Amino acid sequence: MLFDYVGSGQSDPTAFDPQRYANLDGYAQDMIEVCDALGLSGVTLVAHSVSCNIGLLASIARPDLFERLVLLGPNPCFLNHPPDYQGGFERADLEGLLALMEMNYIGWANYLAPLAAGAPAGDAITGTFLDSFCSTDPVLARSFAAATFFADHRADLARVSKPCLILQHSDDALVPNSVGDYMHRELRGSTLELLDVAGHSAHMSKPELVIAAMQRYLPNA
CATH code, domain with 58: 3.40.50.1820
pLDDT at 182: 98
Q: Has 49 been annotated as catalytic?
A: yes
Q: Has 161 been annotated as catalytic?
A: no
Choice among 49, 51, 201, 205 that is catalytic: 49
Q: Where in the sequence is the domain holding 47, given as residue range(s)?
A: 25-217
> Could you write out the DSSP letters of every residue in 56-87?
HHHHHH-GGGEEEEEEES--SB-B-BTTTB--
pLDDT at 209 over 90: yes
Classify residue 9: in a domain, yes or no: no
Q: Cβ neighbours of residue 201 under 8 Å, at least 6 residues apart?
A: 48, 49, 73, 116, 117, 118, 125, 129
Classify residue 118: in a domain, yes or no: yes
pLDDT at 221 over 70: no
If you average pLDDT over residues 169-197, what whole number do you get? 97
Q: Cβ neighbours of residue 77 under 8 Å, at least 6 residues apart?
A: 85, 87, 151, 152, 153, 154
Overall pTM surpassing 0.85 (yes/no): yes
Query: Environment class of residue 173 by beta-carbon count within 10 Å: exposed (0-12), middle (13-18) or buried (19+)?
Result: middle
Q: Taken in order 118, 152, 85, 142, is the CA torsion positive or negative?
A: positive
Beta strands in 26-163 (DSSP E): 43-48, 66-72
pLDDT at 134: 84
Choice among 48, 153, 169, 200 that is catalytic: 200
CA distance 48 to 63: 19
CA-closest candidate to residue 194, choices 72, 101, 11:
72
CA-closest candidate to residue 195, choices 181, 213, 178:
213
Classify residue 14: in a domain, yes or no: no
Mean pLDDT of all residues belonging to the chain: 94
How many domains does the chain fold into?
1
pLDDT by residue (tens digit) across 71-102? 999 999 999 999 999 999 999 999 999 999 99
Classify residue 18: in a domain, yes or no: no
Q: Has 81 been annotated as catalytic?
A: no
- Crossing angle between the packed helical segments 50-61 and 24-37, to the nearest 10 degrees: 60
**Residue 214 banded pLDDT, cuts 50, 70, 90:** very high
Tally of residues, the chain: 221
pLDDT at 52 over 90: yes
Classify residue 82: in a domain, yes or no: yes
pLDDT by residue (tens digit) across 96-152? 999 999 999 999 999 999 999 999 888 999 999 899 888 888 999 999 999 999 999
Classify residue 209: in a domain, yes or no: yes
pLDDT at 167: 98
CA distances from 98 to 20, 23, 65, 67 (A): 20, 15, 34, 36
Classify residue 189: in a domain, yes or no: yes
Choice among 30, 48, 59, 172 that is catalytic: 172
CA distances from 103 to 88, 96, 122, 131 (A): 23, 10, 23, 19
Classify residue 76: in a domain, yes or no: yes
